[in-house]
A and B are shown apart, each in its own frame.
Chain A
Amino acid sequence: SQQGEEDPQALSIQEGENATMNCSYKTSINNLQWYRQNSGRGLVHLILIRSNEREKHSGRLRVTLDTSKKSSSLLITASRAADTASYFCATTGNQFYFGTGTSLTVIP
């Protein structure tokens, strides 16, 4: 069964704009991770945020975590066409679950 729900399901933006996607989950977690998947390929780990952290940055990525609301957001700033991909949150408590994913299209 899946732990996380993501919204929006699909997002289309112009190059240079920021993209925000959200993940909500159901039970307690140890940490939350974000992955990217290019069409039909394997997943690539982007960033991990621990349950006692509220915000984390990595390059153009900013992740927030609100454990009281059981939610996380991923912000990609100054988007590029190469950011076009599906993005999944993944939560770890007793198990490792992927969210439903957000399909991001960045238009050049």
Chain B
Amino acid sequence: DTEVTQTPKHLVMGMTNKKSLKCEQHMGHRAMYWYKQKAKKPPELMFVYSYEKLSINESVPSRFSPECPNSSLLNLHLHALQPEDSALYLCASSQEQRLAGINEQFFGPGTRLTVL
């Protein structure tokens, strides 16, 4: 299984809502990533988990809260988002973070988030 799955595919939420994005992989990868991508822009790294521990937080606002319950799952909890947070949120995994430059990252299809 070389697939990264993400749910939901689309999400519309109000600024007062609380929602979660989910990501799952069964490739035995020990590094997992969250990216944010605006239209016609490259993905921007948000968080990196290595062996279920948060290793990189790219100065992301606290209204985004990541969680890695186990080595196969990665969640992104959303609360009090702003309209400018509307974007495609991509999850990825790789064998290990320290080997990120050697091993490719496998990406999920993304969650299209709209904040009203």
Interface residues of A, Cβ cutoff 8 Å to B: 2, 29-31, 33, 35, 40-45, 48, 88, 92-93, 95-101, 103
Known: A92-B101, A96-B105. A41 touches B45 (CB 8 A): no
Choose the segment among B63-71, B77-85, B106-114 that binds chain A (4+ C-beta atoms closer than 8 Å): B106-114
Contacts of B40 in A (CB 8 A): 101, 103
Interface residues of B, Cβ cutoff 8 Å to A: 4, 40-45, 88, 90, 92, 100-102, 104-110, 112
Q: Establish whether residues A44 and B101, one from each chain, have CB atoms under 8 Å apart when the complex forms.
A: no
Please report the C-alpha to C-alpha distance between residue A92 and residue B92 in the assembled complex, in whole angstroms: 15
Shortest Cβ gap from B67 to chain A (Å) = 21
Q: Establish whether residues B101 and A45, one from each chain, have CB atoms under 8 Å apart when the complex forms.
A: no
Q: Establish whether residues A41 and B101, one from each chain, have CB atoms under 8 Å apart when the complex forms.
A: no
Given contacts A45-B105, A45-B106, A93-B101, 6 further A-B contacts (CB under 8 A): A30-B101, A42-B110, A43-B90, A88-B43, A96-B100, A100-B42
Q: Establish whether residues A31 and B104, one from each chain, have CB atoms under 8 Å apart when the complex forms.
A: no
Shortest Cβ gap from A59 to chain B (Å) = 16
Known: A88-B42, A101-B42. A40 touches B100 (CB 8 A): no
Contacts of A43 in B (CB 8 A): 43, 90, 92, 105, 107
Q: Establish whether residues B102 and A30, one from each chain, have CB atoms under 8 Å apart when the complex forms.
A: yes
Shortest Cβ gap from B49 to chain A (Å) = 14
Contacts of B4 in A (CB 8 A): 42
Q: Establish whether residues A42 and B101, one from each chain, have CB atoms under 8 Å apart when the complex forms.
A: no
Q: Establish whether residues B107 and A31, one from each chain, have CB atoms under 8 Å apart when the complex forms.
A: no
Residue from the list A35, A41, A93, A101 in contact with B109, Cβ < 8 A: A41
